[in-house]
Amino acid sequence: MAIWTAFTIGLLGSLHCVGMCGPIALSLPYQGTHYRWAAAGNVLLYNVGRALTYTLLGSVIGLVGKGFFLAGAQSYISIGLGVFLLIIALFSIDVESRVLQIPFMQRLNSWVKTQLGKLLRGGGRERLFLIGALNGLLPCGLVYVAIVGAVSTGAVWSSALYMAAFGLGTIPLMMATALAGQFIKLEWRVRLRKLLPVFLVGFAILFIMRGLNFDVPIEFRFWEDMQDVPMCH
């Protein structure tokens, strides 16, 4: 799966991140600084922590994807993941709540929230990075969508790169929200978050076509590719 899809998932899905993680970002102590560049640096530190956690998750997930690739089952996995995304989108399944029903995820979520509470009460710039890193472990349907794409890459390094691109895609809006506040009204965030199923369907189709070995252009060169289509005269 091309890396641009990961960045697109992060960029277009940022409104979901603002709704879920925005309160944490706005509660951090960088708003009080009198220097704009210092505030921006603090915000960036927090977001780099998030992106690094996503990258590490990609490395771990890449081991799973590599196993499927070596077993020759990558096509089936890609189709299966595509169908899975379609089911989530069409039936509006709340992925976060379902994941939190898993005992291990319950314990992990409880531990992360406890550590976040301690860090939010502490001091020092380094804690901003740690808060971001821990925030990357909170249940998030958007992250799980990116993980689906990372699994389909079939290699550790490409999976890590995929998740890193996803993390970078989420940074612009998250930084703007932290520096400018909740500039997007709640009603608009709710409306735009409803577009997430549309994105899921689009990426589900990509996964399914990839599994069926359908030749999808990696870059947006559709017009050039259409020039080579045989025509009957």
CA angle 17, 19, 23 (to 5 degrees): 100
Range 61-74 burial, b when 16+ CB lie within 10 A, else e: bbebbbebbeeeeb
Structural domain includes residue 223? no
Is residue 108, in this structure, part of any structural domain at all?
yes
> In angstroms, what CA-CA distances link 39 with 23, 32, 180?
17, 8, 11
DSSP 3-state of 3: helix
196 falls within a domain: yes
State residue 25's pLDDT score.
Answer: 63
Q: Please report whether residue 228 resides in a domain.
A: no
Q: For the chain, how many helices (H) and strands (E)?
A: 12, 0
- Kindly report which listed range (133-147, 166-180, 219-233) carries the lowest average pLDDT score: 219-233
Structural domains in the chain (count): 1
All residues at 6 or more sequence positions from 23 whose CB lies less than 8 Å from its CB, including other chains: none
Residue 232 domain flag? no
73 lies in some domain:
yes
pTM value? 0.75
Q: What local confidence, expressed as pLDDT, does residue 114 receive?
A: 93
Answer yes or no: is 97 within a domain: yes
Mean pLDDT is highest, among 29-38, 54-63, 76-85, 224-233, for 54-63
Structural domain of 113: 3-215
Specify the pLDDT at position 56.
95
- 41 domain-assigned: yes
